[in-house]
Structure 1
Amino acid sequence: MEKPLSLQDIRKNYSLKELTTNAVADNPFQQFGVWMQEALEAQAAEATAMTLSTADAQGRPSARVVLLKELDSQGFVFYTNYLSRKGQQIEDNPFAALTFFWPALERQVRVEGRVEKVTDQLSDQYFHSRPIGSQIGAWASPQSQPIPNRAALANLEKEYTQKFEGLPEIPRPEHWGGYRVVPDRIEFWQGRPSRLHDRLVFKLQEDDTWKLQRLAP
């Protein structure tokens, strides 16, 4: 008789690195930049992937994985359909959390803050940097809405491909663009042995400075 799977028996002891207050950067954006660069150099799978967690007006949460496309002095930028489920939740409740997880480095980063739309100029710039197929897809997909079958999506793709054929540039849909998560809390987590992990959190103060604290694992 096959032995049933026991998730309780799965163990991984983290021991690659440590995270100290002396070694961390003074600014969380700088520290994130260091860790992102190390994740890219380590060829971590989908290093820019992040779990975006939002909640509706009643506080019911929802999460999905999106890609970080820009990090600036204000926050973390991603792009999506404004009429999607996440877009509607952000409209009703403009706060979100991001979670990055890099198993190869035994690290995660947690970001919390308010959400704002980026400028039309920035959305236009990124939209036109995308492959043509992705630009068409932004028009063709009624994201998060029910569709009868895959063929319906293929038909929409064909329709918009024909519509924009021969144009020097595909216009960006008004319903598609960027969001920026403007953080007031960023936590850096480094796995350590015996589940006694390192957790350092930056909290934004009223004077716009960052306060660093160590948290119990």
Structure 2
Amino acid sequence: MADFDGREELIQVARWDYDGEGIDEAMLPGDPWTAITGWIEAARERSLVADDVPEPDALSVATADAQGQPHVRTVLMRYLTPHGPGFYTNLNSLKGRDLAANPRIAAALTWPPMFRAIRFTGSAEELARDVVAEYFRSRPYGSRIGAWASAQSEPLERRAVLDERTEHYAHRWPDRGEPGDVPLPDFWGGYLIRCDEVELWAGRHSRQHDRLVYVRTAPGTLADHDAWRIERRQP
């Protein structure tokens, strides 16, 4: 392999300065729950009035397998309580296999037009089956059929195979307009992120961003003031 000098076929990246309002300690509540829900609500509200935050609940999730190889992908945050954020997935997917071997996890909500991001770091814990079942019944019919049709993360010879599997399960469980039309697969579930840290990032001019981190100091939920301290970190 030829030596790489860092200049070959270099694609220039446009530079732009961040124009966020930033954050300081005086602006933050003592618990991460209030801060998290406030920022998420602001992002959701913006998505309704502007076209620059089209999916405010898009959550980038990073896992690592038993050998330490990291993997990252974007899912939708469909679970959020004071115990932590969460998401649903095929438990046999790559992320599911990673978490079975190594439950450590990191995730981030990012809203570039708002110059804001929230980072979660902690451990993944499977959601209870009754919680999963309730959410699964609330999904559109096509999404419930899709959960059966897709062996998530596995190789697919051609698109037609997925279409055939989708048609097979739609014929097996036709849409009668009822939440129980499609049974919950035993391989489909969800994960809660038990957070050890929650970081709020706010962009500022000249890359002098604000990073304020809630660091766990005791057991408790995201809403427990006494379980957290706030730490400023350099950008």
TM-score (norm 1): 0.94
Structure 1 distance, partners of 2:111, 2:187, is: 32
Amino acid corresponding to residue 107 of structure 2 in structure 1: L
Give 1:199's match in structure 2, choosing from 190, 204, 211. Answer: 211
Identify unmatched segments of 5+ residues in structure 1.
none
Deviation of residue 5 (structure 1)?
A: 4.2
Structure 2 distance, partners of 1:149, 1:165, is: 25
Q: Indicate yes or no: 2:80 matched with 1:76.
A: no
SS at match of 1:128: helix
Amino acid corresponding to residue 46 of structure 1 in structure 2: E
Deviation of residue 207 (structure 1)?
A: 4.9
Structure 1 runs (4+) deviating above 2 angstroms are 165-168
Structure 1 distance, partners of 2:174, 2:206, is: 59
Structure 2 distance, partners of 1:95, 1:162, is: 39
* Percent of pairs with identical residues: 36
Structure 2 distance, partners of 1:63, 1:166, is: 34
Residues 83-122 of structure 1: matches in 2 within 5 Å? 83-122=92-131
Amino acid corresponding to residue 54 of structure 1 in structure 2: T
Matched-pair contact (CA < 8 Å) for 2:141–2:175: no
Structure 2 distance, partners of 1:42, 1:131, is: 25
Amino acid corresponding to residue 127 of structure 2 in structure 1: V
Deviation of residue 166 (structure 1)?
A: 6.8
Aligned residues: 212
In the other structure, the counterpart of 2:223 is none
Q: Indicate yes or no: 2:171 matched with 1:165.
A: no
Give 2:142's match in structure 1, choosing from 133, 146, 159. Answer: 133
Q: Indicate yes or no: 2:233 matched with 1:215.
A: yes
Identify unmatched segments of 5+ residues in structure 2.
1-9, 48-52, 221-226
Residues 1-150 of structure 1: matches in 2 within 5 Å? 5-7=11-13, 10-43=14-47, 44-150=53-159
C-alpha root-mean-square deviation of aligned residues, in Å? 1.3
